């Protein structure tokens, strides 16, 4: 990275560390921090969307929808996440390839499932074999976001459903009595009052999501845990171990990274709680309004 | 829905004929009728479980009666049958009727996440499609009128019960309704807080507003109503002008009820 890094062996102290921490591999690790943040940033909104959709299914008066909502939340919640993170990306990947295969290679005669192998025509590969490296990375990442969203969405659906049920009936009935439509009741009264009941659960879910990001490693995405393990145990010609095994420092760094992330989010959630509980007859609401007059 | 129009016509605002309502096996209303003309103040009295609140809630269809006709300003409510149960056929019509019959609840039911002023302008803006500026101007003047003009920007949880109920009355008035439905508006209040709410209700009656009033407060019913209906076990046991109903009750049940209320 720096000009003086041509031969690190001749360097000492700060300049050696500066060179060591800016090797291409280390730069990949810094990028992977962004990957983790991007995963969280993308998963959160999709989780909320799926959460609302799941809650809507569960609350539907149409029985098949209700059943689908129940099936989604109870299966995902009942299965260990690890299994889902392994299953969803592979299943999704194969499903997409199978569909592309049926469309693009309709003249293909061989079976797709040959024993233990899953074989589709080259044109159906997703992404295509000749596609650039970043396309592959993006596709894998998209699968990871999907898997995370499906898993956390089921929890969010339960939280939102419970929170919607917790809103006092008379608040909704009053809106009805004043001529509001179902839509208006939902967006003007039901949803605004729901957050105060949903936030504690969602804040937990958010922490679990942050803490779950190292599972990316399982999906073949080189996240920060991968790099910490890799770099901590790396011995190269140019950079000799500054210490017999420095993995402990990398993991300590990770520990602080995750603590910082969860600490910042806790502050964020505390603020949100204050906002949504304004006027509500909860502890937070009373605190925010300065108590009863 | 200008108030003076109906006052001039003296036409029918609400007519409910032979209303039957049953919850499961429990028959709460067994054929109750009522006719409210513009300017009428009708008091519904009776012991707990007599069906008076349920009857009031049938007026704006918070409860759907299984049998009976409802006409609002001469327009008959449309019905359909689904799964063996009757329900309103026209959602727009239901919303129109509700917007014109503002209800004041026993437990006030102010929306807790909105300030007092937001509570008052909410339905005028979302349902009546009034501009926010116009609704706020009216809302503030109504809050002045009920004596809590200084509380416009606080949350309901910061108000006393009496103040909350007055805010709820301002919210009902902001709809400029054809008639107002009061469901035991003072029952949840301590006696000293009741006074301020009673003052507002008396004022509204003097203005000639059409009101249906379910109440336990016999002196209020006697004072403001021009017609009193005594319900007993889901039927009208006796009705008439307050002087007749309160001073010379004919049925034994009403006599018993009135002497029990007096000794309360």
In this complex, the residue of A179, A290, A292 whose CB is nearest that of residue B123 is A179
- Do B156 and B135 contact (CB within 8 A), yes or no? no
Mean pLDDT of B144-173: 94
Q: Can you tell me the distance from the alpha carbon of A93 to that of A141, in angstroms, rounded to the nearest whole number?
A: 12
Asked whether residue B17 carries a pLDDT value surpassing 80, the answer given is yes
For residue B108, the chain A residues in CB contact (below 8 A) are: none
Question: Nearest residue of A to residue B157 by CA position?
Answer: A279
Mean pLDDT of A78-82: 84
Asked whether residue A234 carries a pLDDT value surpassing 80, the answer given is no
For residue B102, the chain A residues in CB contact (below 8 A) are: 177-178
Residues of B contacting chain A (CB within 8 angstroms): 60, 62, 91, 95-100, 102-103, 105, 107, 109, 111-115, 122-123, 126-127, 154-160, 171, 175
Residues of A contacting chain B (CB within 8 angstroms): 170-171, 173-181, 184, 188-189, 192-193, 276, 278-281, 285-286, 289-290, 292-293
Most B CBs within 10 Å: which of A176, A178, A181, as the mutation test of the B interface? Answer: A178
| Cross-chain residue pair A177–B60, CB shorter than 8 Å | yes
Give the pLDDT score at B135. 96
For residue B160, the chain A residues in CB contact (below 8 A) are: 293
Highest-pLDDT range among A107-116, A207-216, A232-241, B62-71: B62-71
Q: Is cis: bond before A127, omega within 30 of 0?
A: yes
For residue B105, the chain A residues in CB contact (below 8 A) are: 170, 174
Angle at B160 between CA A293 and CA A173, to 5 degrees: 120
Give the pLDDT score at A252. 86
Lowest-confidence pick of A97-101, B167-171, B184-188, B236-240: A97-101
The percent of residues in chain A predicted with pLDDT above 70, rounded, is 79
Both structure tokens of A117: 């192998």
Most A CBs within 10 Å: which of B102, B157, B163, as the mutation test of the A interface? Answer: B157
Place of tokens 């009052």: A193
* All domains of chain A in start order, with CATH: 3-277 (1.10.3720.10)
Lowest-confidence pick of A114-128, B47-61, B218-232, B249-263: A114-128
Asked whether residue A180 carries a pLDDT value surpassing 90, the answer given is yes
Give the pLDDT score at A8. 62
Q: If pLDDT is split at 50, 70 and 90, which confidence band does B90 have? A: very high
Give the pLDDT score at B226. 94
Asked whether residue A235 carries a pLDDT value surpassing 70, the answer given is no
Q: Can you tell me the distance from the alpha carbon of B250 to that of B240, in angstroms, rounded to the nearest whole number?
A: 11
CATH number at residue B98: 3.40.50.300
For residue A191, the chain B residues in CB contact (below 8 A) are: none
| Cross-chain residue pair B99–A179, CB shorter than 8 Å | yes
For residue A178, the chain B residues in CB contact (below 8 A) are: 98-99, 102-103, 122-123, 127, 171, 175
Asked whether residue A18 carries a pLDDT value surpassing 90, the answer given is no
Lowest-confidence pick of A134-138, A163-167, B161-165: A134-138
Give the pLDDT score at A289. 42
- Do B167 and B107 contact (CB within 8 A), yes or no? no
- Do B112 and B157 contact (CB within 8 A), yes or no? yes
Give the pLDDT score at A290. 40
The alpha carbon of residue A28 is apart from the nearest alpha carbon of chain B, in Å, by 47
Asked whether residue B228 carries a pLDDT value surpassing 90, the answer given is yes
| Cross-chain residue pair B109–A174, CB shorter than 8 Å | yes
Place of tokens 């009546």: B128
pLDDT digits (tens, 9 = 90+) for B62-72: 999 999 999 99
- Helix boundaries (H) for chain A: 13-20, 24-59, 63-78, 81-104, 133-166, 169-177, 182-184, 191-212, 224-232, 247-276, 283-289
Asked whether residue B262 carries a pLDDT value surpassing 90, the answer given is no
Asked whether residue A126 carries a pLDDT value surpassing 90, the answer given is no
| Cross-chain residue pair B62–A177, CB shorter than 8 Å | yes
Most A CBs within 10 Å: which of B115, B132, B155, B156, as the mutation test of the A interface? Answer: B155
In this complex, the residue of B102, B156, B158 whose CB is nearest that of residue A178 is B102
Query: DSSP state, A190?
Result: I
Please give the residue range of the domain that contains residue B147.
3-262
- Do B44 and B215 contact (CB within 8 A), yes or no? yes
Residue B49: partners with Cβ closer than 8 Å, 6 or more residues away: B233
SS3 A118: strand
Q: Can you tell me the distance from the alpha carbon of A211 to that of A116, in angstroms, rounded to the nearest whole number?
A: 34
pLDDT digits (tens, 9 = 90+) for A247-260: 677 788 888 888 99
Does ipTM top 0.85?
Answer: yes
Q: How far is CA A266 from CA A192, A200, A260, A271, B167, in A?
A: 21, 11, 10, 9, 37
The alpha carbon of residue A210 is apart from the nearest alpha carbon of chain B, in Å, by 30
pLDDT digits (tens, 9 = 90+) for B170-191: 999 999 999 999 999 999 888 8
DSSP letters, chain B, are: --HHHHHHHT-EEEEEEEEEEEETTEEEEEEEEEEEETT-EEEEE--TTSSHHHHHHHHTTSS--SEEEEEETTEEPPEEEETTEEEES-HHHHHHHHHHEEEE-TT----TTS-HHHHHHHHHHHTS---HHHHHHHHHHHHHHTT-GGGTTS-GGGS-HHHHHHHHHHHHHTT--SEEEEESTTTTS-HHHHHHHHHHHHHHHHTT--EEEE-S-HHHHHHH-SEEEEEETTEEEEEE-HHHHHHS--SHHHHHHHHHHHT-
Higher per-residue pLDDT: B147 or A232: B147
Q: How far is CA B178 from CA A134, B2, B36, B120, B212, in A?
A: 67, 8, 11, 17, 11
Give the pLDDT score at A10. 64
Give the pLDDT score at A6. 65
- Counting the structural domains of chain B, the total is 1
Q: Can you tell me the distance from the alpha carbon of B118 to that of A187, in angstroms, rounded to the nearest whole number?
A: 15
| Cross-chain residue pair B95–A180, CB shorter than 8 Å | yes
pLDDT digits (tens, 9 = 90+) for A26-77: 777 777 788 888 888 999 999 999 999 999 999 998 999 999 999 999 998 8
| Cross-chain residue pair B105–A175, CB shorter than 8 Å | no
């Amino acid at each position: 990275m720096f000009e003086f890094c041509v031969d690190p062996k001749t360097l000492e102290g700060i300049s050696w560390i500066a060179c060591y921490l800016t090797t291409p591999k280390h730069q990949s690790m810094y990028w992977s921090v962004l990957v983790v943040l991007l995963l969280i940033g993308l998963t959160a909104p999709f989780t909320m969307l799926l959460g609302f959709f799941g809650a809507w299914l569960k609350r539907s008066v149409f029985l098949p929808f209700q059943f689908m909502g129940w099936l989604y939340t109870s299966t995902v919640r009942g299965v260990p996440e690890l299994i889902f993170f392994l299953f969803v990306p592979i299943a999704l990947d194969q499903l997409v390839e199978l569909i592309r295969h049926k469309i693009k290679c309709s003249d293909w005669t061989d079976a797709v499932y040959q024993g233990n192998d899953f074989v589709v025509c080259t044109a159906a590969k997703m992404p295509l074999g000749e596609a650039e490296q970043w396309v592959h990375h993006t596709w894998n990442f998209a699968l990871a976001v999907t898997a995370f969203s499906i898993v956390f969405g089921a929890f969010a659906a339960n939280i939102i459903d419970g929170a919607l049920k917790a809103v006092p009936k008379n608040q909704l009935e009053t809106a009805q009595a004043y001529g509001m439509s179902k839509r208006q009741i939902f967006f003007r009264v039901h949803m605004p009052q729901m957050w105060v009941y949903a936030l504690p659960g969602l804040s937990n879910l958010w922490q679990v999501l942050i803490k779950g990001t190292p599972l990316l490693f399982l999906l073949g995405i080189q996240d920060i845990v991968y790099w910490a393990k890799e770099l901590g145990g790396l011995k190269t010609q140019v950079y000799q171990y500054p210490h017999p095994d420095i993995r402990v420092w990398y993991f300590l760094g990770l520990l602080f990274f995750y603590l910082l992330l969860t600490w910042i989010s806790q502050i964020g959630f505390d603020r949100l709680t204050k906002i949504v509980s304004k006027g509500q007859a909860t502890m937070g609401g009373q605190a925010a309004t300065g108590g009863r007059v | 829905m200008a108030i003076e129009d109906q006052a001039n016509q003296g036409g029918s605002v609400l007519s409910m004929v032979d209303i039957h309502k049953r919850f499961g096996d429990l028959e709460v209303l067994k054929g109750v009728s009522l006719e409210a003309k513009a300017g009428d103040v009708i008091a519904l009295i009776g012991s707990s479980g007599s069906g008076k609140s349920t009857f009031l809630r049938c007026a704006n269809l918070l409860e759907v009666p299984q049998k009976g006709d409802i006409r609002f300003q001469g327009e008959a409510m449309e019905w359909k049958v689904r799964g063996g149960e009757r329900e309103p056929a026209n959602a727009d019509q239901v919303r129109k009727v509700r917007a014109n019959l503002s209800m004041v609840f026993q437990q006030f039911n102010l929306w807790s996440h909105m300030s007092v002023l937001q509570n008052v302008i909410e339905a005028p803006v979302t349902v009546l499609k009034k501009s926010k500026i116009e609704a706020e101007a009216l809302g503030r003047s109504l809050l002045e009128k009920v004596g809590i003009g200084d509380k416009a920007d606080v949350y309901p949880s910061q108000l006393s019960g009496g103040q909350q109920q007055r805010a709820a009355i301002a919210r009902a008035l902001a709809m400029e309704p054809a008639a107002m439905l009061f469901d035991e508006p003072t029952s949840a209040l301590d006696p000293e807080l009741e006074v301020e709410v009673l003052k507002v209700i008396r004022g509204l009656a003097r203005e000639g507003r059409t009101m249906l009033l379910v109440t336990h407060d016999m002196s209020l019913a006697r004072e403001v109503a021009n017609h009193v209906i005594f319900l007993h076990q889901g039927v009208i046991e006796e009705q008439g002008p307050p002087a007749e109903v309160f001073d010379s009750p004919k049925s034994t049940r009403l006599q018993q009820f009135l002497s029990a209320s007096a000794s309360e």
